[in-house]
Chains A and B, each alone.
Chain A
Amino acid sequence: MSTPAAVAPAASRVWLRQLGAVLRLEWRKTLLSRRGWWIYCLALAPVGLTLLHWLLELQRNASNSHHSLGDDSIAFAATFFFFYLKGGIFFGCVGIFNNLFRGEMLEKTLHYYYLTPMRRELLVAGKYLAGLGTAVALFVGSVAASFFLIGRHFGAAYSDYIWHGPGLSQLGWYCLVAALACAGYGAVFLMCGLRYRNPMIPAVVVYVWEGINPFLPSFLQKISVIHYLKGMCPVEVPVPPPLNVMVVDTDPTPAWIAILGLLALTLIVLAYSAVTAREGEISYGE
Chain B
Amino acid sequence: MSELVTFANVSRFYGEVLGINKVNLSIPPGITSLVGPNGSGKTTLMNLMAGLLRPTQGEIAVLGIPPNQPQRLCRLLGYCTQFDAFPKGLTGWQFLYSFLLLHGMSEAECRRRAAAALERVGMAEAAQRPVAAYSKGMRQRIKLAQAMAHDPQVLVLDEPLNGLDPMARAETIALFRQWGSQGRHVIVSSHILHEVDSISDQVVLLSHGYVVAEGQIQGVRNEVREQPIQILVRCDRPSDLAARLFQQNHVVEAKIQGDGHNLLLRTNDADGLYLLLNRVILDAGLDVESVAPADDDVNSVYQYLIGSEGGTV
Asked if B162 is at the interface of the complex by the 8 Å CB criterion, the answer is: no
Give bound CA distance, A111 to B76, whole Å.
16
The answer on a CB contact under 8 Å between A29 and B87 is yes
| Residues of A close to B75: CB separation below 8 A | 5-6, 8, 117
Asked if B146 is at the interface of the complex by the 8 Å CB criterion, the answer is: yes
The answer on a CB contact under 8 Å between A116 and B85 is no
Asked if B285 is at the interface of the complex by the 8 Å CB criterion, the answer is: no
The answer on a CB contact under 8 Å between B87 and A25 is yes
Asked if B61 is at the interface of the complex by the 8 Å CB criterion, the answer is: no
- Tell which of B74, B83, B86 touches A116, judged by Cβ atoms closer than 8 Å: B74
The answer on a CB contact under 8 Å between B71 and A5 is no
Q: How far is the CB of B14 from chain A (nearest CB, A)?
A: 8
Chain B: residues with Cβ within 8 Å of the partner, total of 43
| Residues of B close to A163: CB separation below 8 A | none
- Tell which of B85, B88, B116 touches A29, judged by Cβ atoms closer than 8 Å: B88
Asked if B151 is at the interface of the complex by the 8 Å CB criterion, the answer is: yes
> Quick one: which of A1-59 are within 8 Å of B by CB?
1-6, 8-9, 13-15, 17-18, 20-22, 24-25, 28-29, 33
Interface flags for A187-217 (1: CB within 8 Å of B; 0: not) read 0000000000000000000000000000000
Give bound CA distance, A21 to B103, whole Å.
9
The answer on a CB contact under 8 Å between A29 and B74 is no
Among A9, A15, A24, A116, which residue has the most Cβ atoms of chain B within 10 A? A116
Give bound CA distance, A118 to B51, whole Å.
13
The answer on a CB contact under 8 Å between A17 and B101 is yes
Give bound CA distance, A283 to B88, whole Å.
20
Interface flags for A99-119 (1: CB within 8 Å of B; 0: not) read 000001001110111111111
Asked if B70 is at the interface of the complex by the 8 Å CB criterion, the answer is: yes
Interface flags for B72-92 (1: CB within 8 Å of A; 0: not) read 111111110101011111100
Asked if B170 is at the interface of the complex by the 8 Å CB criterion, the answer is: no
| Residues of A close to B47: CB separation below 8 A | 282
The answer on a CB contact under 8 Å between B102 and A18 is yes
Asked if A82 is at the interface of the complex by the 8 Å CB criterion, the answer is: no
Q: How far is the CB of B224 from chain A (nearest CB, A)?
A: 33
Asked if A227 is at the interface of the complex by the 8 Å CB criterion, the answer is: no
Interface flags for A222-249 (1: CB within 8 Å of B; 0: not) read 0000000000000000000000000000
Q: A24-B101, A282-B52 are in contact. Are A2 and B116 (CB under 8 A)?
A: yes
The answer on a CB contact under 8 Å between A117 and B71 is yes
- Tell which of B74, B88, B104, B116 touches A9, judged by Cβ atoms closer than 8 Å: B104
The answer on a CB contact under 8 Å between B53 and A115 is no
Chain A: residues with Cβ within 8 Å of the partner, total of 40
| Residues of B close to A116: CB separation below 8 A | 70, 74, 99, 102-103
Q: How far is the CB of B156 from chain A (nearest CB, A)?
A: 10
Q: How far is the CB of B97 from chain A (nearest CB, A)?
A: 10
Asked if A251 is at the interface of the complex by the 8 Å CB criterion, the answer is: no
- Tell which of B50, B73, B78, B98 touches A28, judged by Cβ atoms closer than 8 Å: B98
| Residues of B close to A17: CB separation below 8 A | 101, 104-106
The answer on a CB contact under 8 Å between A4 and B151 is yes
The answer on a CB contact under 8 Å between B153 and A118 is no
Asked if B94 is at the interface of the complex by the 8 Å CB criterion, the answer is: yes
| Residues of A close to B79: CB separation below 8 A | 111, 115
Interface flags for A144-174 (1: CB within 8 Å of B; 0: not) read 0000000000000000000000000000000
Q: How far is the CB of A262 from chain B (nearest CB, A)?
A: 30
| Residues of B close to A25: CB separation below 8 A | 87, 98-99, 101-102
| Residues of B close to A28: CB separation below 8 A | 89-90, 94, 98
| Residues of A close to B86: CB separation below 8 A | 109
The answer on a CB contact under 8 Å between B88 and A33 is yes
| Residues of B close to A21: CB separation below 8 A | 98, 101-102, 104
| Residues of B close to A5: CB separation below 8 A | 75, 103, 105, 150-152
Q: How far is the CB of B44 from chain A (nearest CB, A)?
A: 10
| Residue of A with least CB distance to B50 | A115
The answer on a CB contact under 8 Å between B88 and A107 is yes
| Residues of B close to A20: CB separation below 8 A | 101
Q: How far is the CB of B282 from chain A (nearest CB, A)?
A: 49
The answer on a CB contact under 8 Å between A29 and B90 is yes
The answer on a CB contact under 8 Å between A111 and B52 is yes
Q: How far is the CB of A25 from chain B (nearest CB, A)?
A: 5
| Residues of A close to B102: CB separation below 8 A | 18, 21-22, 25, 113, 116, 118
Q: A6-B76, A25-B102, A107-B88 are in contact. Are A282 and B70 (CB under 8 A)?
A: no
Give bound CA distance, A4 to B54, whole Å.
27
Chain B interface residues (CB < 8 Å from chain A): 14, 47, 50-54, 70-79, 81, 83, 85-90, 94, 98-99, 101-106, 112-113, 116, 146, 150-153, 182
Q: Give 7 nearest A-B pairs by CB, closest first.
A: A14-B104, A21-B101, A108-B85, A117-B74, A116-B102, A5-B150, A282-B52
- 22 sampled A-B residue pairs with Cβ under 8 A: A5-B75, A5-B105, A9-B104, A14-B104, A15-B104, A17-B106, A21-B98, A21-B102, A21-B104, A28-B94, A108-B83, A109-B87, A112-B99, A115-B52, A115-B70, A115-B74, A115-B79, A119-B70, A120-B70, A279-B54, A281-B53, A283-B14
Given contacts A4-B151, A5-B75, A22-B102, 16 further A-B contacts (CB under 8 A): A1-B151, A5-B150, A18-B104, A21-B102, A24-B101, A25-B102, A111-B52, A111-B81, A112-B146, A114-B70, A115-B78, A117-B73, A118-B70, A118-B104, A120-B70, A282-B52
